[in-house]
Each structure stands twice: as structure tokens, then as C-alpha cells.
Structure 1
């Protein structure tokens, strides 16, 4: 029997009402723009944090984050080409300290978390003049229900000065990127004693400044092993809320998300463009999910999604994951102060310059960590995004038939169809459809965009899957 759908008149009336509500809240949203977490009107797909997540977010500690950043800075330099066997200075000392910390967190996990080194020898290459061992430090918290589903969060622990080949000068790297490492480590600490349904990997990677080498090795290793990495976040330059003109924006974090996936073939990319799906890649659905779960007063942050892979002339550790076909995105501070990044430590006019801890805003970093935590924990506890989502195009009608494969999660409760106008950035409407694998909506597929998301018995929702056309 054909599922009951809302009438076209009902659906379009709801669209008008939603538009009026959005317009009505615009003034209020502007008036509260300086308040933490007081962003724009929340999307229809928003997921407020439950009691469990709120408790987790409260445990994130700015003082611990600051201590992590200052300890990493104390190693003098963490350049990829610096000493690997000096116990006090260089990248090797930093590596060993990170591993010891992650192992101490793992000791509280009841055997669910493990910490290890992931190493390989990088042969000579651009910015690598001689064969060099690149080592990532990983903590893996194994899922209790669907451990085969994996989510990754990272920061890079290597640092540099202006001359990217200078491996001996002090390179504190507080903002770039001890701040991101501190986020990943703090999440490992607060989640170690918990039981996520799916697996979470907390990573501190090396070789970023020399060419994303550590992240590339990690991503290719996951791919070679057939690991189902459903999302990856890198935190790179998340330490400061001050721009280069001195202005501050302490309640906003940028999230960069690419459109047409890097890994798609020309034919796949052409199909995506033909149906208007450039703005509906897995990475952009991931970015919408972050907004749904982390742009709220519980994190104290607004998530500013930027529809680009990364900033001009630069790139982060999410890119190798994109190249392997994984959904990935980059967190970075709202406006960078370039005078402090990658600069040699120096004193001018009585002021000290360089990428130093004094430049960091540690309450801001803690809020960034809460954004990551809200998204990661919800991803790990929710069902996976629906697979094999298709929009049937053979019948030329003014209704839309959607199909998808049922998930394997034991607590799966059903599915929701979401839709929005083609000009809208966020999903604006949600239609509960139950535990089915197809649904017909009384709206034309030519006029709006559709998606499908899964729901479990506790009410947690997956990221949205954008359907591919099927004749």
C-alpha cells in the first residue's frame, strides 16, 4: 500500500509558515548576536543535546586544554625534521608525551580505549630532504554496538617557523596547532570512560606542515583496511578568537566543507551537477549535522559553515581523507592573525611575537572542543546515514518516490524524509515515515531537494543522505 503523504497544499503552506517564522526571528537573532550560542533560527533538523551529552560537555576543561598547549610548547620545536630521540626537545619528545597522556586516559576506559603509535618512513619528497620517520599518535575508543563504524578527530602536533625547512629554531606552535591537538586529547579524556555505540579515533598527526604526510598515511591505512570511516574532523588553528586587526569574535568557529567530492570520477561529478547536488556532498551534509547538533547554547558557539574545501593557498589534514572518499571537514578560528602564525619568536617594541600560548584564548578553545564533542558524540550514538538512497526518475509525475537500504543497527526505529527549496542552505522540513525503505512525497522532485535520515529509539538522528537519481 502506498504510504500516506502530506498533500501538496499542506506541504507548501508549511513552507510559507516556515518562511514567515524565519523572517520574524531575524530581528531577534540579530539583537542577540553577541550572546554565546545565539545563532540564527535553528534548522528544522536541529538536535538539541540530551542530558548525557550536556554532562559530557560540562567536563571539558579550559585549564586542562591550556596545560596541554603549554606542555607542547615546552618542547621548543616540534618540527617534523627535528630530533626524534631527545627526551626534552623536538618532535620525538612531544610524541612520547602525547602517547603517555593518551595511555593514561585509556587506563580509565575499562579496556575500551587503546593508544598506539602509527609510523612509517617517508622517503625524500618536497619538504622532506632525507628519509624521515613520520609518527601519528592514535587513541581508539571502540564502539559497543556498531564498532565497525568509525569517526575520527585530529589535530597536528608538528610545528614550524617562517622557514618551513628550519628544524632547529624555536617553533612554539601554540595556535598552529597545539590548540587542535589539545582539542582531540581533551575529547579523548572526557570520552574514555563512556560507551559510544560506534568507534571514535582521537589522533595527533605529524608531517602536516611538510605536506599533510601523517594524515595521508592514516587515511590511506584506513582505506586499505576497508575501514568504514563515516566522518573526519581536523582541528587546525583553533586557539585564538582575535583577527589581525585586533577585533575578537569569541563565539564563532568556521567549518570548511567541500562541495563536489574530490574523490568522484568526472562522470559522477557531472551527474551530481546535473541534478543540482553540488551543495549536497557527504561533507556538506556532515557540516549541516554539526550545525544541527553543536550550534546551540550548550556549546556556547555559532558554527559558521564555509562552502569551500579550505582557505586559499592552504590545506589541512581533512584533505587526504577527502581524497580517499571519506566525508571530512576542517574547523579553524573565525579570523586568523597572520602576524602570529609561523613567525619566528621575536621581540619588537616591547611586544613578543610568534605562535605563543599568550596568543591563545583557552575558554574559546574549550568551546571549540564542545562543538567537536557535540557532533562526534551524536554521530557515534546515532544510526549511520542511510545507504543506497535513490530518487526514482522514470515516472514523469508531480510526486517523488524515494528508496534506501535499511540499516543494521539493533536500535533502529525508522526514517525521516527531509526537504528544502533548492535555494535554501539548510533542511527546512521533516517528514517522519516510519521503519520503511521507500516513501512517496506529494511534491515534484524537479522543484525541491530531498534527503533521508535514520532515527534510533532514543531519538538520535543520523546525518542526511542525499539521494542519487535512478532511472
Structure 2
């Protein structure tokens, strides 16, 4: 017999309390970060806590300062000088990534991913654009891929000036340092799924490197289930001098960029504007990283990116991959992209002196918590459907069972239509359908997978099935 609506509400309240607290851990996390516990929160395992402790602010600082030492890393700068220009930076990053791979027992590879960009916007002559890519192959489901990146090219005020010093400490040596530090720390470990650590070029000229990487994944049908770019994550100080060293912004678009008009119409009709795969990815970041172990509050921004600008997650969005952008809480435009100069005794330019490396290390921990949890969890459930043919006050959900060998079962989640986060969790077991005695017209539902280690996947939002 199907449980009554009162039973469902009582059970979900209990499940919510259990999932939100998970003992004392989530409560302590919420107290330290100033946020409320999330019903779907996933406190870090001992394995993840050990990984987070290895992230080193001093190494991040050293990486940023080394990248700055190349003078300029402009995409159009010299590529065959050992000491200056984007080519020197490229070769150093590759050398570092190879040194991390050497400690992986053969699980990680590091390579250059190059192509020649013909003349285009901000590319006046044919130019070789090269990404540096380190791939840590998964040990259980290697076909499932997660990507983290920063862009190693830099610029000054004039985006076509390829010769002036362009230190690019905050934008975006900081993001490259995050990706490289994660590669170093994770190389010695065995994720279940594949994690890719990338330093891409051509961002300032038009997201060229990231577009090439995303296209290569799309061309081979790669199952990229999540991508994060870290762009401008080096400072916690705003242009008015105020500091917010314990918050990072995460930009996540709503209705997917890649949707057809017909798909968009269906989504609008069922109210799924706030439930794109990228929004579920952002919620997953909060579930796993908005806690005491990272020391950070993740502020999710319901936009694709900032006004008039965009980052390397956008080419992935355009190819229907879930993707989001990390960036600092408030940018300092007085230094960003400015030429190196001294005025009234003050030095200006995108220099390491304006960076907060302890802050950047905490951003790296946020990335690490999300990526490791994604890689260790089952993949996002596929084929999630909500049956709409039957006009009843119950909700029938179906989905396709995953192929992971350690899959333990599934959970149904739900929330009021006005709520931004999932508020209730219902464990349903190792099944592929479940009926809830709540009206599909009144709340939003989702499904997530659970493995035997307790890792949960991102939520799948169900499409209507007539």
C-alpha cells in the first residue's frame, strides 16, 4: 500500500534532518560558514579531508609568481623564447604537470593540445593556440569526465598589445594555480571517474582554447558531466578596499544555452528554469564545499556570467555540457587588466602583491571538494521522467539505473517551487521508479544516485512524460 501524504511528509522531515546534519559535522560546518545546513549536504569523508589539507597556499603563490615572471603571456606574444611570452609559460606548465603525472603510477598523463587559429576576432594573423591538459584516468568509470581549468594567457588594457608586460596574477594565473595544485594533490589518488586539469590559452582573445577543448570532447562523444573554470580567484579585496575572504562566487546559467526552442518551451511550461544541469551542478558544489572543511561560503549567482564578459565555461555550455564559473566575491577593476605603472607612489597592474593566496587556496579546496565528490559518486541519473498522463495528486517518477558497480540506490528530493535549494530527501532504494503522495503540480522533484560509500550524485531534474 502506498504511504499516506502525512507519512511522506513525516518521513521526508526525518530524512531532511538526517541529511542536513549527518551527525554534528554539517551543523558545525554551517556555524563556521554562517550558512544554514542543506537537506542534501554531503559532509567530507576522511579521505577528502586529508586531500584538502594537502592544498598549499605557498605552492599556489609560487605558481602565480612563476607565471608572472614570464613578463607577458598574451596569446599573440612570442612562442619560441625560453624566458618570456606565452610559449615559455606553456612549456613550464607542461613540465610541472608532467612532474605531477610521474607520481601517479601511470594514471595521469600530461600533454599539449594545439591547433592553428586562422585570423578572426582579436586574432589578426594565423596563431597557434595551445592548451596544457593533464588527465587523471578514473579507476571505475573512466568514461565519465569532469574538467577544471584556468586560462594562462594574460593582457593589459589594450587587448591587442602583445609586447607590454602583462603580469596577469589575478587574471588568471590564480585560476591556473588552482588547477595545477589540484593536479598535484590528486595525481597520487585513485578517483572513480576521470578528472581533467587544464590550463587553456586564448581566453582574452575570445575563449579560443576552451572552445577547442570542448569541441574535441564533443567530437568524440565524451561524457563530460561537469566543468568548472576558475577565472579571477586571486583576491578577496574589492575596489573600495573591503574584504570578503571567505566567499567565492559561482556563476551558473539557468535555461541551457544549447536548448532548442521546442525544449525551452517544454521547460518553461513545467517551471524548470531554475533546474538546468548547470544549476544542479552549482547546488552540488554547495552540498559538498560550503562547509567548515573548505572554510568557504559558496555564493551561487543565477547568471551565466557577469555583464559584458564571459569565461571558459561558456564553450562547454554551448556544447550542452554542465559548466560553471568560480570567481572572487568582488573584483578590483583598478588593477585588473591595467598596464604596470606607478601613480602617486602606488603601483598598478595585475600584480601578485594584490593577491590573497590563503583565499585562493580556500577556493582550491572548494574545487577539490566538489570535483573529488563528483568523481567518487555515481554519475547523474539518466532518463529521469515525471509521469503527467495520470491526473492524480500523487507523483510517479522513473529513471534509468546506472551501471556503476558500487551503486547502492537512489533518493528522491523535492522542494517548494519558490525554494532555491532542495529541502527534502526520500531514500527509495535500488529501484528505477517511485511514487510520492505529493502533487507534482505543487512542488519540484529530482532524483540522485547513492553509492555504497555514501557519495551522492548531482540531482537529475525529470522531464515530463505524457
Bin of the TM-score, shorter chain as denominator length: over 0.9
Q: Equivalent residue for 1:434? A: 429
Moved more, 8-17 or 272-281: 8-17
Distance between the aligned counterparts of 1:15 and 1:425, measured in 2? Answer: 18
Aligned pair count reads 459
Cα pair distance change 1:353/1:435, threshold 3 Å: same
- Structural RMSD (CA): 2.0
Q: Equivalent residue for 1:394? A: 389
Q: Equivalent residue for 1:7? A: 4
> Offset of 1:38 from its aligned partner?
1.4
Q: Which of residues 261, 265, 286 in structure 1 aligns to 2:260?
A: 265
Q: Equivalent residue for 2:454? A: 459
Distance between the aligned counterparts of 1:356 and 1:169, measured in 2? Answer: 14
> Offset of 1:9 from its aligned partner?
2.0
Q: 2:16 touches 2:40 (CA, 8 Å); kept in 1?
A: no
> Offset of 1:17 from its aligned partner?
9.3
Distance between the aligned counterparts of 2:439 and 2:298, measured in 1? Answer: 32
Once the two structures are superposed, residues 239-276 of structure 1 have per-residue CA deviations (whole angstroms, 9 ceiling, x without a partner) of 00000110000000000000000000000011011000
Cα pair distance change 1:15/1:430, threshold 3 Å: closer
Q: Equivalent residue for 2:111? A: 116
Distance between the aligned counterparts of 1:57 and 1:36, measured in 2? Answer: 19
Q: Equivalent residue for 1:296? A: 291
> Offset of 1:11 from its aligned partner?
3.9
> Offset of 1:15 from its aligned partner?
7.8
Cα pair distance change 1:91/1:36, threshold 3 Å: farther
Secondary structure of 2:331 counterpart: coil
Pairwise mapping of residues 322-361 of structure 1 onto structure 2 (< 5 A)?
322-361=317-356
Distance between the aligned counterparts of 2:152 and 2:203, measured in 1? Answer: 8
Pairwise mapping of residues 80-229 of structure 1 onto structure 2 (< 5 A)?
80-229=75-224
Distance between the aligned counterparts of 1:148 and 1:227, measured in 2? Answer: 7
Cα pair distance change 1:58/1:110, threshold 3 Å: same
Secondary structure of 2:413 counterpart: strand
Matched, 1:246 2:254: no
Runs of 4+ off more than 3 Å: 10-21, 32-37
> Offset of 1:8 from its aligned partner?
1.4
Q: 1:53 touches 1:377 (CA, 8 Å); kept in 2?
A: yes
Matched, 1:233 2:234: no
The alignment's TM-score, normalised by the length of structure 2, stands at: 0.96
Distance between the aligned counterparts of 1:68 and 1:17, measured in 2? Answer: 47
Distance between the aligned counterparts of 1:87 and 1:60, measured in 2? Answer: 29
Secondary structure of 2:441 counterpart: coil
Q: 2:131 touches 2:209 (CA, 8 Å); kept in 1?
A: yes
Distance between the aligned counterparts of 1:409 and 1:37, measured in 2? Answer: 35
Secondary structure of 1:278 counterpart: coil
Matched, 1:287 2:297: no
**Gap regions ≥5 residues in structure 1:** 22-28
Matched, 1:448 2:443: yes
